[in-house]
Amino acid sequence: MNAVVEAEFSEVEFRRSICKQSFYEFVREFWGIIIDEAPVWNWHIEVLCEEMQIVAERVFANKPKAYDLVINVPPGSTKSTICSIMFPAWAWTRKPASRFICGSYAMDLAIDLSLKCRDIILSEKYQELFPGIQLRKDQKGKGSYHNSKKGMRMSTSAGGVIVGRHAHFLLVDDPIDPNAALSEPKMKEVNRWMVETLPQRKVDSAITPLILIQQRLHQDDPSGQALELSDKKPIRHICLPAELSDDVSPINLRLNYDENGLLDPVRLSSSVLAEKKLLGTYVYSAQFQQRATPPGGGTFKVARFQIDYPHEPIVKSIRYWDKAGLKDAGCYTAGVLMAKDRSGKTWILDIVRGQWASEEREKIIRQTAELDGHKTVVWIEQEPGSGGLESAEATIRNLEGYLCFKDVPKGDKIFRADPFSVQVNNGNIYLKKDSEWIRDFIEECRFFPFSKYKDQVDAAGGAHAKLVVKKTKVGGLGVLGKPKVYK
């Protein structure tokens, strides 16, 4: 009898030890508690578990973090199971007092993940292996609960208010809804929360890591924003596209892809991916390949821009302004000078762009008109509402003596950019060689409509629309000097 009890005790102790020391083994042990389907133990699951455990070990040892962790993987890669469900339950086996703030794009999703984590903790198996981890009866809610060792798991939506809570781990799992990826206000709201709100919720700024795991959706999604700041703070980036590409990071993980270049040949097989490609090039490139734009280009095939010097006299020119309202508010004012030469070629000769307060902006718009000359027609995009009308009319008064009109565009930015993109993609748009603005303009076009900024594309689309209207007749510019570029 004693031998049997001793053997059973030894088996429990053995399983407990293995689960505590290896997060990956913990995931394997508790998979069936929350998922009915048979597991597919693809190699990337172990990689993600190991990467998260490396980050966690420093917290357990009360050591300063080495970096924040950004993980980009396709949907259906077990990322939420690993990050939001299993990880807090495992961490409590090592440091029961660990506190977590877990965010997702919607509160109902965050609560669902929280409930599954709670199901693991309350399961018979977990209680058998880790009987010391008990949830407090008075703090046992769906989205927020505490254990008897002062540990906490709190759920929030990205952008939500977090008052009076601080965490040892900040876990963010898909902070932006794929359907909201084109909403600039929503993207800014989430990014502001990631940069300004969430970092204030750390137990110790030197120790508490941020773990962000998501499918890419946009050039300026939270992953893009984090990676853009990687030169200012250490970031470890794990990027696992569904199909082998140069974007795999770290580079050594390329060796794990199968002979057909697939990340997961069972769940993301060639036939499955073929079906996913029917969703469109942008969706597939971002969500499955972890690129904010397709490799061959999206709306704009930027390789088809012609870069040269004008060799024929300019016969018609338009300067179109897309104005931003506030200095350093995240948006730019952009003025694109577009022209036709005598042979019929369409040129972008200059782009003036900057973040200016209204008084400085109006001064620069006036200076630019003086440089362009009286034969260039100026158009001002009028934003919706009475404020937009007043702003446009103020600029027109500021440009007294010049041909200046306000434009009330119809449709969204994608719709307005379409005619211009057609001309770009057919090789009919020329950019003035050796101009300082070319690189930034091409990069904005490359990522459009998922680009961080859209002001230059918007202004170029407006200029093109006015340039091709035949009833607008103005004289030539003569010989163009090099316009001054303001930054």
Q: Are 437 and 485 in contact (CB under 8 A)?
A: yes
The H or E element that residue 448 is part of is: none
Prediction pTM value = 0.68
Tell me the CA distances in angstroms from 108 to 142, 157, 213, one per residue in order.
10, 8, 18
DSSP annotation of 318: E
475 pairs with which residues across the strands? none
State phi, psi for 407 to the nearest 5 degrees: -125, 130
Q: What is the mean pLDDT of residues 295-309?
A: 83
Cβ neighbors of 118 (< 8 A, separation 6 or more) are 135, 140, 142, 145, 153
β pairing state of 314-322 and 377-381: parallel
Q: What is the mean pLDDT of residues 105-127?
A: 95
All structural domains of the chain? 2-288 (3.40.50), 302-467 (3.30.420.240)
pLDDT of residue 298: 66
Q: Per-residue pLDDT tens for 2-51?
A: 555 455 567 899 999 999 999 999 999 999 999 988 889 999 999 999 99
Say how far apart CA 210 and CA 71 lie, in whole Å.
11
Percent of the chain with pLDDT strictly greater than 90:
69
Q: Are 290 and 227 in contact (CB under 8 A)?
A: no
Q: Per-residue pLDDT tens for 249-277?
A: 999 999 999 999 999 999 999 999 999 98
Q: Are 440 and 399 in contact (CB under 8 A)?
A: no
Q: Would the CA dihedral through 216, 217, 223, 227 be positive or negative? A: positive
Residue of 40, 35, 113 lying closest to 269 (CA atoms): 40
Q: Per-residue pLDDT tens for 43-100?
A: 999 999 999 999 999 999 999 999 999 999 999 999 999 999 999 999 999 999 999 9
The yes-or-no verdict on residue 480 having pLDDT over 50 is no
